[in-house]
Amino acid sequence: MKKTILVLMGGISEEKEISILSGRACVRALRKKKYKVKILDPKGNFINEIRKIKPKIVFNALHGRFGEDGYIQSILEAEKIKYTHSGVLASSIAIDKLVSRKIFIDKKINTPKFFTYNYNDSLNIHALIKKLKINFPVVIKPINEGSSIGVYICTKKNLNKNLKKLRKYNKILVEKYIPGREIQVAVMDNKALGAIELKPKRKFYDYFAKYSSKAKTKHIMPAPLESKKYKEVLEIARKAHLSLGCKGITRSDFRYHNNKFFLLEINTQPGMTNLSLVPEIAAYRGIKFENLVEWMVKDAGYDR
């Protein structure tokens, strides 16, 4: 008799719609594999709901803050319930672009030049950009959001206008814009599965390009890189995964420019929608979607 799986989806982050899409796809896959599945949208007094269900395993299909930042993981640890994906510490580090970047630099993983900007400081952002010799265009983004939410590529002319859009975050990341190719790598069970190249019709692989078929983003699997460079990006992604202490499956996002890979971030709970990249990479490696989801359930644990 297979265990009952509780799938957490929805939540309260700005990525809740994507979480629902991921969650529904995973529910269908688990039911195909004959698991009994229960679904919970964790908001309000959801801990009591979890206690009523008494699951042995939680499939965490949440995205964004409160879902992949260590928050829900801490609760599941306290309840002694096994869960999918990375643990408390790795999740909280990976979603924090400042902390994770510092670790990447320490591990000699190439990442764009950056600094943090605090809206409460009196420092002039234009002066900081000039002082650090970052030059325009620059990218501004929240420190702890996913799915390219709040990401803006800014010129000197429109920087102040875009800064106002992120005012609610208080502190943001400002980084050198890296032109070039979009390469993303999936890591599963501490091994790199493969790399895919994306060719968005838009300026970059933003929220719309990620989740709308209307965006017509071209996916090229495997990424058409020289054999040596393909192996190199796989190894960088695996190194990043291990350096943050990640578990299960992650996806690392790169820009490839002037023969160098720049790691932008690592996602501890990558999307599982019909346009998502990890399932596409896994399928190329001969792993069916329902087998991928079942592997994640079997890999679930606590004290991750």
Instruction: Work out how many domains the chain is built from and give that number.
Output: 3
Asked if residue 304 belongs to a domain, the reply is no
Give the residue from 176, 208, 230 where a domain finishes. 176
> For residues 68 and 16, is the Cβ–Cβ distance under 8 A?
no
Q: Checking DSSP bridges between strand 181-188 and strand 191-199, what pairing results, if any?
A: antiparallel
Asked if residue 73 belongs to a domain, the reply is yes
47 with 104, same domain?
A: no
Average confidence (pLDDT) over 132-156:
83
10 Å CB burial of residue 25 (0-12, 13-18, 19+) is buried
Q: In terms of residue numbers, what domain contains 155?
A: 114-176
- CATH number of the CATH domain containing 141: 3.30.1490.20
> For residues 252 and 240, is the Cβ–Cβ distance under 8 A?
yes
Element (H, E) at 17: helix 16-32
Give the residue from 176, 194, 216 where a domain finishes. 176
Instruction: Name the 3-class secondary structure at 32.
Output: helix
Whole-angstrom Cα distance, residue 174 to residue 66? 23
Query: Which of the four pLDDT bands, split at 50, 70 and 90, describes residue 177?
Result: very high
276 an active-site residue?
no
pLDDT digits (tens, 9 = 90+) for 56-93: 999 999 998 899 999 999 999 999 999 999 999 999 99
Q: Which of 101, 238, 251, 255 is catalytic?
A: 251
Q: Which of 15, 68, 96, 182 is catalytic?
A: 15
Query: Which of the four pLDDT bands, split at 50, 70 and 90, describes residue 212?
Result: very low
Q: Which of 19, 86, 100, 147 is catalytic?
A: 147
Q: Please, which residues have CB within 8 angstroms of residue 253's CB and are 6 or more apart in sequence?
A: 182, 184, 205, 263, 264, 265, 266, 267
Q: What's the N-to-C CA distance of the chain in angstroms? A: 26
Q: Which of 91, 100, 267, 276 is catalytic?
A: 267
251 an active-site residue?
yes
Among candidate residues 58, 8, 15, the one with its CA nearest the CA of residue 248: 58
219 with 105, same domain?
A: yes
63 with 130, same domain?
A: no
Asked if residue 303 belongs to a domain, the reply is no
271 an active-site residue?
yes
Rg of the chain over CA atoms, in angstroms?
A: 19
Asked if residue 121 belongs to a domain, the reply is yes
User: Is the confidence at residue 21, as pLDDT, over 50?
Assistant: yes
211 an active-site residue?
yes
146 with 267, same domain?
A: no
Q: Which of 211, 230, 248, 294 is catalytic?
A: 211
15 an active-site residue?
yes
Q: Which of 41, 145, 265, 294 is catalytic?
A: 265
Query: Which of the four pLDDT bands, split at 50, 70 and 90, describes residue 209?
Result: very low
Mean pLDDT (the chain) is 90
Q: Which of 83, 271, 276, 294 is catalytic?
A: 271
265 an active-site residue?
yes
Q: What are the CA-CA distances from residue 176 to residues 130, 154, 164, 255 (Å)?
A: 12, 10, 19, 12
